[in-house]
Structure 1
Amino acid sequence: MNVLVYGLGRSGGAVARLLRRQGHAVWTFDAQHPQGEDLAALGCRATSAPLEVPAELCIAAPGVPWDAPDLAALRARGVETIGEVEWVYRTVDAPILGITGTAGKTTVTRWLSHTLTLAGLDAPAGGNVDPALAAVAAPGRVLVTELSSFQLERCPSLHPRVAVVLNLGRDHLDRHGSLAAYHAAKKRLIAHLTPEDTFVYNHDDPLVRAWAEASPARTWGFSAAPTPGSAAHLADGMLTLHGRPLVAVRALQLTGQHHRLNALAVALAAAAWGLGDEAIRAGLESFSGVPGRYSVVGEVAGVRFVEDSIATRTLAVQAALAATPAPVVWLLGGQDKGASFAELEALVRDRVVLALCFGEAGPAFAAQLSAWTETHVIPDRDGEAALRRATALAAERLRGSGGTVLLAPLAASFDQFGNYQARAEAFRRAVTALHTPKEALWTGFSSSRS
């Protein structure tokens, strides 16, 4: 088959390699990144004119908007256009356990993969989490797959054996156009479930619960408290699974209410795949978390520095603020994805003594927060410089009183960094550099408090 791979990021490169292993003729196109020598050596042919390729199928990377003119033109010409995950589902004999949600899906994906692997299964994590799914897909494996809305919107026939929906909030409105369209993309995960499949869902989220009530699959809900209809819940300091005490909250290495709910989702998904209580308990207790997800990176003169660069959505930031005792200096900003602040007001008023806002969204974010706390806009266009300045100012503000400097950006990183990991590393370097003299740090940026 002649296949055009449109977009050569992590996903596009991985699926191009898979296609060549499968014996297909592959053309690649990326307007910003040239094809690497490794793909050329495999026989992939780079093109600068994707509409001229004699493609029978186009696999579009998730970073390419679904309504991009070239993709629309290909579809109009009758070229089926799908995503990497859909291709893996169609062509690799390996069951998919799919995880999605507005917040928490990376942690749950890694935690579930860890739990299944510890129990002796060949169950790598892939998808929206590194590595790409096509890089780990092989017959006989159990593919624990994190799925973003961008990936799901290009999966017309995906049928996971276990589907997990953690929550539904507000995200990616810049790409999807509306909250309804974003939720519709997420719903594709459960579109083809049958009575032989299991749908693990957040029983406390009304919309997700409505999806479960309408699903033909076996539905297992998790809840923060004993709730009629839930299959797993928290009660008296214990995680309870199908009415049985499973593990004490204090035995988990991850803290915070959001991680307890994540653990319940992992427990249900692992049970759906056949693991017993002892194996599930071992996996839950031994997981130490995802690097970069709400991790303490240092402490200087009684001030803690917490990095949560992956917290780009309101639900994730809400969880981070809830887990951080006052006083907090909050570092946020970047490329706005349609962030909502309404759900954060009480936490900001209660805990945040200063919000330092950087990047493209900095001024707008500061304006929204100024009624609730003191805000400052960091003017530096260079991301490294912006985080270094913000970190130093935050440390100075908390000096003598203690507290926490929290990087939870509520925005994408692409205005100043290549990805959220690069932003996280810049913050870590900024913490290390706190011995740098701070003269003139306050020069050239605005502050406000109404």
Structure 2
Amino acid sequence: MKIVVLGGGESGFGAAYLAKEKGFEVFLSDRGIIKPEYKKLLQENNIDFEEENHNEEKILAADWIVKSPGIPKKADIVFKIKQKGIRLSSEIEFASEFTNAKIIAITGSNGKTTTASLIYHILKNDGFNVGLGGNIGKSFAKMVAEGNHEFYVLEVSSFQLDDIQNFRPMISMLLNLSKDHLDQYNYNYEEYALAKFRIAENQENDNFFIYNKDDEMSENLLQKLAIKAKMLPFSLKEKVKEGAYATENKIFVKLQQEFSMNVEELSLVGNHNIANSLAASIAGKILNISDQSIRNSLMTFQAVEHRLEEVAEISGVKYINDSKATNVNAAYYALESMKNPTVWIVGGVDKGNEYAEIEQLVHKKVKAIVCMGIDNQKIIDFFKDKKDLIYSTSSMEEAVQVAETVAEKGDTVLLSPCCASFDLFQNYEDRGNQFKNEVKKLINI
């Protein structure tokens, strides 16, 4: 069988590596430049590849094509593949065909990385043989090729779910929905939401689907969709008979028996993280993990990098890195969890943001807005009559310097950009790391 992999990053190399391990004829094609570390791995594993080109003759001769999630589904080569009727899969689909391990798959507009990492922490703490991968930055396919894990916890994006055929997790999870990546879904919110719901489309009645009962779009679509898996809701607003919910002071998980613990014992702060903890706890109880073990894991989990990560406190000012907040909903969660007057660093590549969703929170929590990007006009235009202190900057160095000048003792400087990073940075990690480096420079002034 001839396998062609499109894209030469973490996902692409992983798929090519697994295909090679399985004895298939493999060719990897990337229209861009492949990073040196992946090029080296391809050469070391004798995997045929090309870069800065798509050899259509070679690609369209494939029996099965694996597409990296970064390649737009509207790309010309994708259109030609579909025209020819060649099977086109995401890396998670491809890898899942070669493992009998139980899969716990997490999707949603926000909180995927935190919740996937938390579930991995819960399972690992309880002695499970478990791997963590997917959209979180570690190739699922490479782990399947190298390991013999009995469980995989996968963070899954809508782009990965666009290209599944048989992918069937034991436990699937849809944390929330908000308007994100709409440019890839014809600016149609329901089309994007339905892509997320594909996580459950192949599940049977012996599987589980965990969902957010407070999410309006999820509730609406559940009226239309025929999901076969056992559905288990979580809620911050109401009690549920089976699933999980929170009151002001406690969380409750109800599956056969009831497990509860105090909210103040959770290591993660903010309502969004209470929701993430509820979802993760349901998964733990499905797998018969003890109450004490789940409680211990929820108390000891450390927040993921670039997600409400406290960097430093300098002269009484806290600096928090939330670079992973690439949409309005994520920034909403960050602002909601702020306890002190906040200097908010925001901006980047706008993905169709509607800032009205956070207008009240900004009014209540934010003392100054520091815009950071090549084009800050949309943010400035929306907030100029609502906030007196708005600054425009075009680099991380400038943004942090302005924020440091404006912030007073007792304030918080929050990087929660609300936007994609590609105008000034390689990715959200690069943006977060630059923020941390600039903050650390302030310590040495």
Instruction: Give the TM bin, normalised by the shorter chain.
Output: over 0.9
* Pairing of 1:255-404 with structure 2 (within 5 A): 255-374=269-388, 376-380=390-394, 386-399=395-408, 401-404=409-412
Contact 2:90 2:160 in 1 (8 A): yes
Match of 2:47 among 44, 47, 61: 44
> What's the offset of the Cα at 1:374?
3.4
> What's the offset of the Cα at 1:294?
0.1
Match of 1:412 among 406, 409, 420: 420
Cα distance in 2 for residues equivalent to 1:87 and 1:319:
34
Match of 2:105 among 93, 98, 101: 98
Contact 1:336 1:361 in 2 (8 A): no
> What's the offset of the Cα at 1:82?
1.1
Partner of 2:26: 26
Contact 2:314 2:443 in 1 (8 A): no
Instruction: Say whether residues 1:130 and 2:137 are aligned partners.
Output: yes
Partner of 1:241: 253
TM-score scaled by structure 2? 0.92
Contact 2:259 2:291 in 1 (8 A): no
2:431 aligned partner, one-letter code: R
TM-score scaled by structure 1? 0.91
Contact 1:362 1:377 in 2 (8 A): no
Instruction: Say whether residues 1:66 and 2:78 are aligned partners.
Output: no
Cα distance in 2 for residues equivalent to 1:161 and 1:361:
44
- Structure 2 vs 1, CA of residues 202 and 435 (structure 1 numbering), >3 Å: closer, same or farther? closer
**Structure 1 residue ranges (4+ consecutive) displaced by more than 4 angstroms after TM superposition:** 210-214
> What's the offset of the Cα at 1:135?
2.6
Instruction: Say whether residues 1:208 and 2:218 are aligned partners.
Output: yes
1:429 aligned partner, one-letter code: N
Cα distance in 1 for residues equivalent to 2:221 and 2:117:
25
Partner of 2:195: 185
Cα distance in 2 for residues equivalent to 1:212 and 1:277:
30
Instruction: Say whether residues 1:79 and 2:86 are aligned partners.
Output: yes
Contact 1:168 1:207 in 2 (8 A): yes
Contact 1:193 1:215 in 2 (8 A): yes
SS at match of 2:26: strand
Match of 1:118 among 112, 116, 125: 125
Cα distance in 2 for residues equivalent to 1:29 and 1:375:
48
> What's the offset of the Cα at 1:372?
2.1
> What's the offset of the Cα at 1:291?
1.8
SS at match of 1:281: helix
- Structure 2 vs 1, CA of residues 346 and 379 (structure 1 numbering), >3 Å: closer, same or farther? closer
Partner of 1:16: 16
Cα distance in 2 for residues equivalent to 1:129 and 1:245:
29
SS at match of 1:347: helix
1:398 aligned partner, one-letter code: A
> What's the offset of the Cα at 1:349?
0.8
> What's the offset of the Cα at 1:306?
0.6
RMSD, aligned CA: 1.8
1:154 aligned partner, one-letter code: D
> What's the offset of the Cα at 1:377?
4.9
Percent of pairs identical after alignment?
30
Deviation string, structure 1 residues 202-228 (Cα, Å, up to 9, x no partner): 111133234556422211111114424
Deviation string, structure 1 residues 158-195 (Cα, Å, up to 9, x no partner): 11110111111110012222212211210110111211
Contact 2:348 2:374 in 1 (8 A): yes
Cα distance in 2 for residues equivalent to 1:109 and 1:416:
28
1:413 aligned partner, one-letter code: S
1:89 aligned partner, one-letter code: S
Instruction: Say whether residues 1:221 and 2:233 are aligned partners.
Output: yes
> What's the offset of the Cα at 1:246?
2.1
Instruction: Say whether residues 1:196 and 2:206 are aligned partners.
Output: yes
- Structure 2 vs 1, CA of residues 289 and 70 (structure 1 numbering), >3 Å: closer, same or farther? same
Contact 1:330 1:406 in 2 (8 A): yes
Contact 2:130 2:149 in 1 (8 A): no
Deviation string, structure 1 residues 51-78 (Cα, Å, up to 9, x no partner): 1113111111000001210111122122
Contact 1:336 1:360 in 2 (8 A): no
1:407 aligned partner, one-letter code: L
1:171 aligned partner, one-letter code: D
SS at match of 2:402: helix
